[in-house]
Structure 1
């Protein structure tokens, strides 16, 4: 069994804000896997699904970002999970907009939701999937930026990124963290470019092309 946690803030005020990327990804996972009707449990919204024959619980804590750990700890204890069975999805200021980074463990890296999870779980050793939102533009505070809604120019980027992140979550369940890292941690723009075949700069008549040594 796996517990997928999307981090964010509850309420209409925070819908479609950068800090709610985790909620957006969790919702897309629920749709892609045809999860059951959400219910309120563990101080959050919870939906049950199945991926590749494995039971999956999708949890969006309603305790607000900075207190996410208390909701997750309740689900963790109830289902008697190992830390490796949790995947936490959140935003990341230190990643370029739209980039994904999945890791099996690590520090909070300034993300307050992750920080609270580490405090409640007593360990940094749980997988997390970060979705890059980039740094605030000049003149913006961090708080205003992360709690701000996506601009028109950002919407396509984040729609694609959160969809890709949802597929990364599914890959985590079916293929494990290592294979998911190798598949989703790269630059999506670079990955989508056709790879060019390497060509030799030596012509067929060049003696080096037939193995003759040069001085």
Structure 2
């Protein structure tokens, strides 16, 4: 069994323009994890990410929580740099991200698979040379009417919707911890509903 840390990557876009958009739900999930364990993010400009390290209480399990400072489409640049620096194998990488094909309040956990048109996942797959990482897919739903997906994921959320998405992000963080503690099958049985 590998003793390397787990790399928990929240996908999103940096900066205040995108802070309260659906596309940043992955950022909120890893921020929730860091907050739970009293850690804060610091900028690592060489690795092009904000990074927070925590040790799960009562264990020796180290988590490296990451918010890439590249934009979504180049997330793999930061993931590759941090994974290489810490010698983290692809099966210790967990990516938390928004998912158009799931309604808000729904969550799916899986390992491997396609990127389903998600440019952040596509970038990570390209830079790691593998898609065999874990994904915590946090539902944001499809855009209403004829609104483009790009506009939908990048529009600022209304306060009530933002609060609900933050709860979903925290549940996504729970799912990531469950992968580490209990494995994929048990996590899917608990969270894939």
Paired residues for 1:81-100 under 5 Å? 81-100=88-107
Tell me what 1:122 maps to. 129
Partner Cα distance (1:10, 1:156) in 2: 20
CA contact (8 A) 1:35 1:50 kept: no
Larger Rg: 1
Partner Cα distance (1:116, 1:50) in 2: 28
CA contact (8 A) 1:89 1:130 kept: yes
Partner Cα distance (1:111, 1:90) in 2: 9
**The residue matched to 2:17 in structure 1 has which SS?**
helix
Q: TM-score, normalised by structure 2?
A: 0.91
CA contact (8 A) 1:29 1:169 kept: no
Partner Cα distance (1:39, 1:46) in 2: 6
Residue among 31, 44, 54 paired with 1:40: 44
Partner Cα distance (1:95, 1:39) in 2: 32
Partner Cα distance (1:9, 1:72) in 2: 14
C-alpha change, 1:154 and 1:82, in structure 2 (3 Å) is same
Residue among 178, 182, 190 paired with 1:171: 178
Q: TM-score, normalised by structure 1?
A: 0.82
Partner Cα distance (1:36, 1:6) in 2: 14
Write out per-residue CA displacement over residues 167-209 of structure 1, whole angstroms, 9 at most, x where no aligned residue.
Answer: 11221222222221111111xxxxxxxxxxxxxxxxxxxxxxx
Write out per-residue CA displacement over residues 104-158 of structure 1, whole angstroms, 9 at most, x where no aligned residue.
Answer: 1111011110011111111111111110100000131111100012224423431
Residue among 170, 181, 189 paired with 2:188: 181
CA contact (8 A) 1:39 1:47 kept: no
RMSD over aligned Cα atoms? 1.4
Residue among 15, 19, 31 paired with 2:23: 19
Partner Cα distance (2:22, 2:97) in 1: 10
Partner Cα distance (2:123, 2:115) in 1: 9
Tell me what 1:142 maps to. 149
Partner Cα distance (2:71, 2:153) in 1: 14
Partner Cα distance (1:101, 1:39) in 2: 30
Structure 2 unaligned runs (5+)?
Answer: none
Q: How many pairs were matched up? A: 186
